[in-house]
Amino acid sequence: MYVVTSDEMRKLDHYTINTIGIPSLVLMENAGREVANEIIIWTKKQNKPHHKKWLILVGKGNNGGDGLVAARHLIEAGFDIDILYAQSPNLFKGDMITQHHITKKLKLSSNVYQNKKIDWDGYEGIIDALLGTGTRGAPRDPYASLINKVNESNLPVFSIDIPSGLDADTGVLYQPCIKAEKTITLAFLKCGLIQSPGAETAGDVIVKPIGIPITTAKQFSIQTFSLQPSVLEKKLNVNVNLPRESNTHKGTYGHVLVVAGTLQMSGAGLLCSKTALRAGCGLVTWTLPRMVANQMLGKLPEVMLVPVEDKNNGEWNVHSAEDIIQLSENKQVLVIGPGLGRFEDDEMWLHKLWERIECPIVLDADALNILSDAEHFDKWSGKDTPVIITPHPGEMARLLKCTVKEVQENRIQIAREYAMKHKIVVVLKGAHTVIATANENVYINHTGNAGMATGGSGDVLAGMIGGLLAQNYTAEQAAVLGVYLHGLAGDRAAAKRYSQHSLIAGDIIDEI
Ligand SMILES: NC(=O)C1=CN([C@@H]2O[C@H](COP(=O)(O)OP(=O)(O)OC[C@H]3O[C@@H](n4cnc5c(N)ncnc54)[C@H](O)[C@@H]3O)[C@@H](O)[C@H]2O)[C@H](O)CC1
Ligand SMILES: [K+]
């Protein structure tokens, strides 16, 4: 469940080798053997007669060393292996010299690439041992031309540690980058393997132990986690089945105040309010412009409606702040933003709510856009009650006044830094949503699907998180559990439809 950057991996390697005393060659032997075992398992599962002839592409760093070890173990298992060095063995150093020496002693067939044409006939697959966590920038020749040839071969590629050409920390693809069938990553998951597009390029990712004790991750206080149910249960101490005590009443499960909706975007408030109830809170009050409230009467009988004065235009205005502050007094959570729209002096409105509301707040959608335009948000006083923001990449870019591309190329770091700076919880939505907390913990979610990129899905998530927060979950628990369950509901909803493309936000709520 730990996820590491290449720099963190180097520190863990170094500590294991130089302080704990497990020799690097032992780690490399374990790595290569695990890779060989995965190839053996994979070929056994292929239901076609196979020649068991594989080509292993070997770089000059330790990733290449893993490949040479795998070659030996595959030959022992009866495979026919060709080794192709990307560069001359004269350039090898350290463990690579040892591995090359062993390869020569065993008279294993090997060649140096030298930009020659490769005859792919007869090969069943390719093992990519070119570049690993030591990659710096886009692959240079001869690696680049070799990677291009591999991608044109149409053969299944098994990458060791990471696909060569992938940025191990951000998931950004350098050009060119190996497109892998499977990636066998060593010791711990790498951040780049669970962030798009790295996650897609790596194919099926499997983590294999190589002798680095998992306790070293605690030793180096690694605080990035791949969100598996075990992390929810063991680290966050939450039960994904949301159990209930018997002798309870609706007051036990908290009261959410939803501040959302305008004439044009009334549905956002509806989706958010309904989801908060589905998430299990006891009561939901939805406060909204009077004109909209009149339209919503009876639409959602389980939700209490409290209109605020609008100027007969169905929009919010700055004077409603006092009403909201009063309404918040007996609530456990406020969810502000879905379908809120923009209005005159909305920054003053939000600042007043930020200063005066004493219960936890979830800020979504236009509440975040108001924050982005707030000239002095950095100077707003820190809140001693939890705040969770749920930006999509565009809203995060506006908050940081940077581009969406810059956000997407560094999602984990960006979310972590913003959460720590403002002492809030950041839910950076998108494929593999990132949840970052003020105490540096970061969780990467894997539930959900592309069908959830549809209007209202964010309103549902905001309601989900608000509904959980009202039930005495901490902000960290509510955000992580909310994202996880929201994605799970989306997966169930998609499975019930012809395909993901027809999914709409209401389907997600029905599966919570
Ligand atoms: N996880 C573990 O405990 C272990 C992992 N191992 C493997 O070792 C690699 C990391 O090895 P390292 O030598 O640091 O780097 P690489 O093998 O990735 O090789 C980089 C190599 O290539 C050169 N280089 C760097 N960037 C480029 C580029 N853009 N273009 C061309 N060439 C480049 C650089 O000079 C290096 O020489 C890790 O991934 C695992 O596979 C250990 O085997 C066991 C312990
Ligand atoms: K590799």
Annotated binding-site ranges for (6S)-NADPHX: 62-66, 132-138, 143, 161, 268, 339, 392, 459
CA–CA distance, 91 with 63 (Å, rounded to integer):
14
Say whether pLDDT at 206 is over 90: yes
pLDDT per residue as tens digits for the range 371-395: 999 988 888 888 889 999 999 999 9
Choice from 62, 85, 98 to test ligand 1 binding pocket (greatest atom count within 8 A of CB): 62
Average pLDDT of the segment spanning 433-440: 95
Question: Whose Cα sits closest to atom 37 in ligand 1?
Answer: 61
- State the ligand closest to the CA atom of 129: 2
Domain 233-240+250-510 sits in which CATH superfamily?
A: Ribokinase (3.40.1190.20)
Residue 244 has pLDDT above 90, yes or no: no
**Residue 311 pLDDT grade (very low, low, confident, very high; cuts 50, 70, 90):** confident
The ligand with the least distance to the CA atom of 150 is: 2
279-310 per-position pLDDT tens digit: 999 999 999 999 999 899 899 999 999 999 99
Q: Which atom of ligand 1 lies at the shortest distance from residue 188's CA?
A: 1
Report ipTM (2 d.p.): 0.94
Give buried/exposed letters for 412-430 (b at 16+ CB in 10 A, else e). Answer: bbbbbebbeebebbbbbbb
Q: Given this model, what pLDDT does residue 51 score? A: 67
Give one DSSP letter per residue of 278-325, joined into a string.
Answer: HTT-SEEEEEEEHHHHHHHTTTSTTSEEEEE--SSSS---TTHHHHHH
Residue 133 CA, closest ligand 1 atom number: 39
Question: How far is it, in rounded angstroms, from Cα 399 to Cα 364?
Answer: 12
| Residue to substitute in 13, 69, 97, 133 for testing ligand 1 pocket (most ligand atoms within 8 angstroms of CB) | 133
CATH architecture of 3-215: 3-Layer(aba) Sandwich (3.40)
Q: Kindly list the protein residues whose Cβ atom lies closer than 6 A to any atom of ligand 1.
A: 9, 13, 27-28, 31, 59-66, 131-140, 143, 160-161, 186-187, 210, 212
Mean pLDDT, rounded, for 133-146: 97
- Domain ranges (residues) in the chain: 3-215, 233-240+250-510
pLDDT tens-digit readout, 328-373: 999 999 999 999 999 999 999 999 999 999 999 999 999 999 999 9
pTM listed for this prediction = 0.93
Name the β-bridge partners of 421.
none
Residues in the chain: 512
How many C-beta neighbours within 10 Å does residue 222 have?
20
How far is the centre of ligand 2, averaged over its atoms, from the C-alpha of 358 (Å)? 51
